[in-house]
Amino acid sequence: MLKMPKQIAKPLMFEVLSVLGVSNNVFNLAVSRTFEIDYDHDCFVKDGKPFRYISGSIHYSRVPRYYWKDRLLKMYMAGLDTIQMYVPWNFHESQPKIYDFSGDRDLEHFLQLANDTGLLVVLRAGPYICGEWDMGGLPAWLLRKKSIVLRSSDQDYLAAVDQWMGELLPRIKPFLYQNGGPIITVQKLTFFGRRLGCQYCFLRLLFSVISVHTFRQSSSKDESLQSGLDESLEKCYEALYFCLCFLIGGNVTAAFLTQRYAEPKGPLVNSEFYTGWLDHWGQAHSVVGKAIVAKSLNEILALGASVNMYMFEGGTNFGYWNGANTPYAPQPTSYDYDAPLSEAGDLTDKYFAIREIIKKHKKVPLGPVPPTTPKFAYGKVEMNKLGTLSEMLNKFSFTGPVKSVYPVNFVQLNQYFGFMLYRTKLPKDCSKPTPLSSPLNGVHDRAYVTVDGVPQGILERDKSLSINITGTTGAQLDLLLENMGRVTFGRYINDFKILECSVFINHTILNYFSAFPSKITSALLFNPLVWGGSSQTGHSFRSAHTSDLSEVCPLVSFVLGSFLAFSPFPPLPGDDFKMCEIYSQGQVWINGFNLGRYWPARGPQITLFVPEHILSTSVPNNITVLELQRSPCDFGPCAVEFVDKPILN
């Protein structure tokens, strides 16, 4: 169980780049839209009037666009006037200079919806965000330069940041408060390699002068932006205030006194008031009681402080987007966070407790809160085994094997996520069980090992550095390497996905590898016929191991199934579903949409969230499961089950 830091964190400095109007006299009753910091009165000033914000975090990258409006409206109805959000760089620039701001990545649409809903925005523009997001939001392609020093003055790093900011900032500009939009502050977070007191928070909060420098550089690419921001940049240095993160249940007054000690003037802000906590695979689901959250929130608001609740709506790490902490511990697919709105956007008791507290301090909007969306349990869907991954390799390896003496890494082959197969030959006879080991912990992150197609075991970073294998000289040794999510901060952030530092068979180093990069693309998954097999014909089931279900044996394989969705609640188009996995570990797609990783064998998360908008009501929906260890499909008929309640613990 990850422990929350015990002491109250040192107050942490960050800059707020207030994007303000021109007025210096904050109390002139300007009609123009302004947002300022008044140091004499220790408060924010919005349109000439003292202002404090009550905010909640939501990450658009963790909620499908289809639900944005619903979630924002629920936040507004709780009494929030502001949201805090990140812009994850790697979500938008997946290859250098190739940008995606469409669909679920439509940042401008999200900002517009926030404004339409009546919410202000505190924007954390990156380039680095942390946030339990793959590589803290930095694109993995930065690692193409092996020696790059991320989040430093490394020239290549800065050039990439400038390029990105030159793309991002002009999109943000129309949404700045003084331009008629919702964004009251833009926070930039870049440099900080060193550990400070509160390791989780500081990464989210620290902003540096150098980041302003890069901001200026990038804005110089756009003259109009430059002139518009110059004034704000001046203020940037002025508008330096201290921010606080402290733990639920701590002494709120004492925490703010510490903030005052570090920064005698300026508004009191707690920009990371935790409503819950993050999870890791293999640890219990974090839960924070609503009473303690309500009590602390009440104390914060009573002091007149501004607050942001992290998270208000956690959402989902779909696909491969989860991050990891060190010693290596990846985050699960659900980012529920035990937040007041659940992963599926459901209203919780905590939501109503928070609304009651806010009510004591300001008017909350009247009218009904949008109801929790109905869920529908489709029940069991029959699945059929299609074949093992190595049998299917030619279908999804987008280039032929790349041969090298030492293993190449993912980035060298322009593959950033998912799986890569490394193949070599056993250099010696291993007819007795012989150790296959990675003594320097170089398997990043898990390797599923087979010899001539026979499963041998799993090597795992920081967990399992040696297994015994058997096979004869020259037998085909396959290591299927899985990227389980890049480390989000600290000294291991240059997280190359690779078999690193050599793998040995009883003291003999392994080399001469063929690497098969893979892209399990939507095109393949949308229509199982493309696989060249029919999911209906099934496959010969393995009879071995039937009795020993507790044994972990990697039989990496694909299973397919399809089902007809229908509209359970006419005239609604259908709704959320959960899928219950009785499998061990792997990845699931429905109609090509990557729902994320499932790993009930390790927990705590058992079900995956299935957003309804990915389902078709007119043609059969196709489910593809890549099972990495052992599924019931290896032994006979099998199914996946859709249920209407999440199981996260």
Ligand X SMILES: *[C@@H]1O[C@H](CO)[C@@H](O)[C@H](O)[C@H]1NC(C)=O
Minimum distance from residue 191 beta carbon to ligand X (Å): 32
Q: Which residues bind ligand X (CB under 6 A)?
A: 115, 118, 180-181, 251, 253-254, 257, 432-435, 466-468, 506-507, 526-529, 562, 591, 616, 619-622
Minimum distance from residue 530 beta carbon to ligand X (Å): 9
Q: Would you say 198 and 272 are in contact if contact means Cβ atoms under 8 Å apart?
A: no
Minimum distance from residue 192 beta carbon to ligand X (Å): 29
Minimum distance from residue 73 beta carbon to ligand X (Å): 15
For helices 349-361 and 290-302, give the axis angle rounded to 10 degrees: 20
Ordered DSSP codes for 542-587:
P-TTTT-TTS-----EEEEEEE----SSTTS---BEEEE--SSSEE
Ordered DSSP codes for 505-551:
ETTEEP--EEEEE----HHHHH-GGGGTS-TTT--PPP-TTTT-TTS
Q: Coil, helix or strand for 256?
A: helix
Judged by CB, which is closer to ligand X: 160, or 430? 430
Judged by CB, which is closer to ligand X: 246, or 320? 246
Minimum distance from residue 471 beta carbon to ligand X (Å): 12
For helices 209-219 and 223-238, give the axis angle rounded to 10 degrees: 160
Judged by CB, which is closer to ligand X: 101, or 526? 526
Judged by CB, which is closer to ligand X: 553, or 648? 553
Minimum distance from residue 312 beta carbon to ligand X (Å): 20
Q: Which helix (H) or strand (E) holds 17?
A: strand 17-18
Q: Which candidate, 137, 143, 166, 4, places its Cα nearest to that of 60?
A: 137
589 pairs with which residues across the strands?
A: 594, 624
Judged by CB, which is closer to ligand X: 228, or 401? 228
Minimum distance from residue 295 beta carbon to ligand X (Å): 11
Q: Coil, helix or strand for 389?
A: coil
Minimum distance from residue 518 beta carbon to ligand X (Å): 21
The greatest distance separating any two alpha carbons of the chain, rounded to the nearest whole angstrom, comes to: 86
Ranges assigned E (strand) in 136-250:
183-189, 240-243
Q: Coil, helix or strand for 332?
A: coil
Q: Would you say 480 and 419 are in contact if contact means Cβ atoms under 8 Å apart?
A: yes
Judged by CB, which is closer to ligand X: 263, or 336? 263
CA dist., res. 556 & res. 571, Å (int): 41
Minimum distance from residue 167 beta carbon to ligand X (Å): 20
Judged by CB, which is closer to ligand X: 32, or 616? 616
Query: Which residues are within 8 A (CB) of 373 and not within 5 positions of it... i.e. 6 or more apart?
Result: 70, 344, 345, 346, 575, 576, 612
Minimum distance from residue 119 beta carbon to ligand X (Å): 9
Distances (CA, A) of 307 to 126, 160, 272, 341: 20, 33, 7, 17
Judged by CB, which is closer to ligand X: 82, or 190? 82
Judged by CB, which is closer to ligand X: 264, or 620? 620
Judged by CB, which is closer to ligand X: 473, or 616? 616
Residue type, 626: L
